[in-house]
Amino acid sequence: MARHSWLLASAITMALGISAVTAAPASAPVGVDQTGIDRSIQPGDDFNGYANGNWEKTAVIPSYRSSTGIFLQLYERAEKRTADLVKAAGDSHPAKGSQERLIADYYAAFMNVDGIEKAGLKPLDGELSAVDAIKTRTDLSRVLGSQLRADVDPINATNLHTEHLFGLFVAQGLEDPSHNMPYLLQGGLGMPNRDYYLGTDKNMVEARQKYQAYIADVLKQSGTADADAKARDILALEMKIASAQQSIVDSEDIHKANNPWPTSAFASKAPGIDWNAYFKAAGLDTQKTFIVWQPATVTKLSALVASEPVETWKTYLRFHVINENAWLLPKAYVDMAFEFFGHTLQGTPKQSDRWKRGLARTNIDLGDAVGQIYVKKYFSASSRAQVQTMVENILKAFDERVDKIDWMTAATKKKASEKIGTVKVGVGYPDTWRDYSSLDIRPDDAVGNHLRAQALEYRHQVAKLSQPVDRNEWWMTPQTVNAVNLPLQNALNFPAAILEAPFFDPKADAASNYGSIGAVIGHEISHSFDNTGAEFDAQGRLANWWTDADQQHFKAAGQRLVEQYNQYEALPGLHVNGQQTLGENIADVSGLAIAYAAYRKSLNGKEAPVIDGLTGDQRFFLAFAQSWRTKSRDAALRAQIIGDGHAPGQFRAQTVRNIDAWYDAFSPKPGQKLYLDPSQRVKIW
């Protein structure tokens, strides 16, 4: 995956769909930003505008970012801490092979601009020579196999963006949770997803034109002859790859993904690739079975390997070797790539400072090494214990809520309760850290450091195929400002960096803590019961544990939520895709409902005091809405609508319209824009 560091710095979008954004002004202990509220807006017309309107009027998106909002306070705090840790590691002259030495040397290599300029493309000689040596389809298959990477985002694997033709994901089997399996997923595109290739509106047409120009510029800079013609060939090939791919919505259907293929069957099911050569080069030739997530796509992509000229594939591969590593190459490549990926696709006017990009890359390739040092210094045992207690309270609230659902049969309730009881919750950091002792990091080899770190990660993932399933495995680093639900593991990760004010403050009012971090916890718990999570049982096995009537009711409620979100218009003529965002919207609605239930339970039957003119319930819902305050550049907003499973924050703040208690707290009236008749409010869990 071309995880360009400028995009990491300007639009970090993961499990919660959050961006690295600007924080609110310092708030009172109640945890609500009073100055950000626009009281000229009626809560019943636009709760996001009411909660965040004054903030939106003055919020300025930094020139090196594509969006701004509440998460920047946490992101920049984690970034500053990480910068201090990296500096301390360099200043302390740590022992060779230590975590601190790896971190210091990796960062030093990235910051060695003169050395990078002098090296040019030489650090990529091995990869480029392998491409140049391709003469036959078997050679091509071998190189494609050697490029297979474990670069699938496990948090959003169905929306994979990898420049490699396929991506590898290793996790427990869909139907056999006792063994890890290799999953093969579609890839092969340089732009974020297939809609950039297939879309017919002027923005998508312009993106393709600029992408072709960018390809040509990269080829010219690298000394490739006939660059303009070859750029046209590469785009034409990627157009065919995009046409072969499944949509995000289809890829999210887990039942369409459950396709076990014996290794021996690939030759007949997907002719065109020499699969023996491919799997041998990928180090997977001993595997007996793969789960093929998008089988029709794999068949079509394999056919393209046979039908398209070998020379076109070679040029395509040459471009992507360079493009994938552009952020580590001389300034000319960095600037060209930023201009397209950062400026054109995200609307970001300026690159972030190099030190920020260096930190982002260090966090990716040595994430656990940095994280181990991070939590020792910045995450207390008491905070971990407090959040664990909140998680337990919200899980109990979910269980009690399930027990009271009037439409659900006892059999389905029992299965849901079993699943809640077996959730694995990780708070702050993993109990087992990634081992980097075999990783060779050099202070003068930025490209090589990344390639070796990437290879180590691939070996780690492949090694899991011969190891017991680890349901405690983490997929985020502690210094990540986010959280995640892992359906196959029936597990949750809440990294240390998000467990701080304004999301979580041990001194703050319970209403704001439950409205902010409580809703995040509820959101991730609810993912175990969204339109995808609900397909998995307590062991993470793909299994139908619903009665037919219960499942029909669940799907009907989901469809009402689809229709509700389809109405939201992000840009003129561009609406939220309710089906594409359904899982996240279910988690928002259900998570907010159970966080509210847990909050009320924490009051032990008493009413919360009125503080600064706000009742406890008002503070709860305002804290939730202010957690989603967002301001994005049009290009970034368009990219999110097209390719993300999360609705933009301004619409997520309107989730309150489905919660009965919000109506009691803010008294919206029939006829106002957000008002829903009680029969229209979506209640799923």
- Tens-place pLDDT, residues 309-354: 999 999 999 999 999 999 999 999 999 999 999 999 999 999 999 9
Q: Which residues contact 69 (CB under 8 A, 6 or more apart)?
A: 18, 19, 21, 22, 59, 628, 629, 630, 631, 649
Q: Are residues 314 and 407 in the same domain?
A: no
Judge whether 313 lies within some domain. yes
Confidence of residue 226 (pLDDT cuts 50, 70, 90): very high
Report the run of H or E that residue 523 belongs to, with start and end.
helix 519-526
Q: Are residues 256 and 394 in the same domain?
A: no
Specify the pLDDT at position 508: 84
The mean per-residue pLDDT over the stretch 474-501 comes to 92
Judge whether 73 lies within some domain. no
Q: Are residues 561 and 661 in the same domain?
A: yes
Specify the pLDDT at position 161: 59
Residue 24 has pLDDT above 80, yes or no: no
Q: Are residues 51 and 137 in the same domain?
A: no
Question: Could you say which DSSP state residue 602 is in?
Answer: H
Q: Which residues contact 469 (CB under 8 A, 6 or more apart)?
A: 172, 177, 178, 179, 180
Q: Are residues 196 and 53 in the same domain?
A: no
Specify the pLDDT at position 74: 85
Check: CB of residue 645 under 8 Å from CB of residue 159: yes
Q: Are residues 478 and 604 in the same domain?
A: yes
Specify the pLDDT at position 160: 52
Judge whether 5 lies within some domain. no
Residue 331 CA to residue 460 CA, distance in Å, equals: 32
Beta strands 574-575 and 569-571 are antiparallel
The mean per-residue pLDDT over the stretch 122-141 comes to 98
pTM of the model: 0.88
Of 555, 502, 549, 566, nearest in space to 530 by CA: 555
Check: CB of residue 93 under 8 Å from CB of residue 87: no
Residue 423 has pLDDT above 70, yes or no: yes
- The domain that contains 625 carries what CATH number? 3.40.390.10
Specify the pLDDT at position 382: 86
Alpha helices by DSSP H, listed for 121-188, are 125-132, 137-146
Judge whether 592 lies within some domain. yes
Q: Are residues 485 and 633 in the same domain?
A: yes
Number of domains comprising the chain:
2
- The domain that contains 317 carries what CATH number? 1.10.1380.10
Check: CB of residue 61 under 8 Å from CB of residue 55: no
Strands (E) across 138-198 are located at: 166-172, 180-186
Amino acid at 457: E
Specify the pLDDT at position 162: 77
The mean per-residue pLDDT over the stretch 458-481 comes to 94
Percent of the chain residues past pLDDT 70, beyond the cut: 94
Residue 29 has pLDDT above 60, yes or no: no
Of 645, 684, 662, 649, nearest in space to 192 by CA: 645
Judge whether 683 lies within some domain. no
Q: Which residues span the domain enclosing 514?
A: 23-58+379-432+470-666
Specify the pLDDT at position 671: 97
Specify the pLDDT at position 500: 87
Judge whether 102 lies within some domain. no
Q: Are residues 52 and 126 in the same domain?
A: no
243-260 pLDDT, tens digit each: 999 999 899 888 899 999
Residue 327 CA to residue 349 CA, distance in Å, equals: 17
Last residue of a domain, one of 294, 328, 362: 328
**Average pLDDT over the chain, rounded to an integer:** 91
Residue 16 has pLDDT above 80, yes or no: no
560-593 pLDDT, tens digit each: 999 999 999 999 999 999 999 999 999 999 999 9
Angle, vertex CA 485, rays to CA 11 and CA 543, nearest 5:
135
Specify the pLDDT at position 26: 34
Q: Are residues 135 and 30 in the same domain?
A: no
The mean per-residue pLDDT over the stretch 506-534 comes to 90
527-558: b or e for each residue (b if 16 or more CB lie within 10 Å)? bbbbbbbbbbbbbbbbeebbeeebeebbeebb
Number of helical H runs and strand E runs in the chain: 30, 11
Higher pLDDT, 675 or 383: 675
Residue 8 has pLDDT above 50, yes or no: no
Q: Are residues 45 and 169 in the same domain?
A: no
For 27: left if phi > 0, alpha if psi spans -120 to 50, otherwise beta; the answer is: beta
Higher pLDDT, 154 or 151: 151
Structure-token pair, residue 338: 């930023």
Judge whether 85 lies within some domain. no
Specify the pLDDT at position 25: 32
Specify the pLDDT at position 19: 35
Amino acid at 53: G
Specify the pLDDT at position 6: 25
603-616 pLDDT, tens digit each: 999 999 999 999 99
Residue 141 CA to residue 208 CA, distance in Å, equals: 27
Q: Are residues 52 and 128 in the same domain?
A: no
Judge whether 414 lies within some domain. yes
Q: Are residues 309 and 424 in the same domain?
A: no
Confidence of residue 153 (pLDDT cuts 50, 70, 90): low
Specify the pLDDT at position 151: 67
